[in-house]
Amino acid sequence: MSTNVITINGRTPRLAAGTWIAPTATVVGDVSLGQGSGVFYGAVLRADMENITIGSGSNIQDTAVVHADPGYPAHLGDQVSVGHGAVLHGCTVEAGSLIGMNATVLNGAVIGKGSLVAANALVLEGTVVPAGSLVAGVPAKVRRPLTPGEIEHCRANAENYKALTSQHLEATGKIHASAHDSHGL
């Protein structure tokens, strides 16, 4: 396994087919990455104390951090986009959502399906965001339902990053075959 995919305390990352991890990203512990997901440059997924699951076609962009605390796993659904510099800490982000650049989502928060958390927002511990919502501010509050254009933006962002994941996988040749082979993925 490469030096940026790390087993700790018997917790080993599991990487599905087509997963790409940038050479400067780090994935530690009980992390499960769904098919076609990408972890971009400088991002960190650290599951040394609790598990992290990331669905298919999701993307963790440059310098974002996903971490889990005991009792607070981090779960991201399919087609989730996590913007540059965002921090997701022990939270749930449901399918099709977009977390804006430098946003922070804290322990126990739930971001409903197809929601958009604005750049620099701070979603406090235990906050529950209804599906299809725009969330913004410090502390973050639900501002309104997403417009059809915003929903399309979230979908298109995930699709664009899925294509970028494939391009970067091809360019770097990093398939992480050893991770696939050792876990039957």
Task: Look up the CATH number of the domain holding residue 53.
Answer: 2.160.10.10
Is 89's pLDDT higher than 80? yes
The per-residue pLDDT for range 126-154, each reduced to its tens digit, is: 999 999 999 999 999 999 999 999 999 99
pLDDT band at 81 (very low <50, low <70, confident <90, very high): very high
Domain count, the chain: 1
Structural domain that includes position 32 = 5-183
What is the mean pLDDT of the segment spanning 6-14?
Answer: 95
Strand order in the sheet with 59-60: 20-21, 38-39, 59-60, 81-82, 98-99, 116-117, 133-136, 141-145
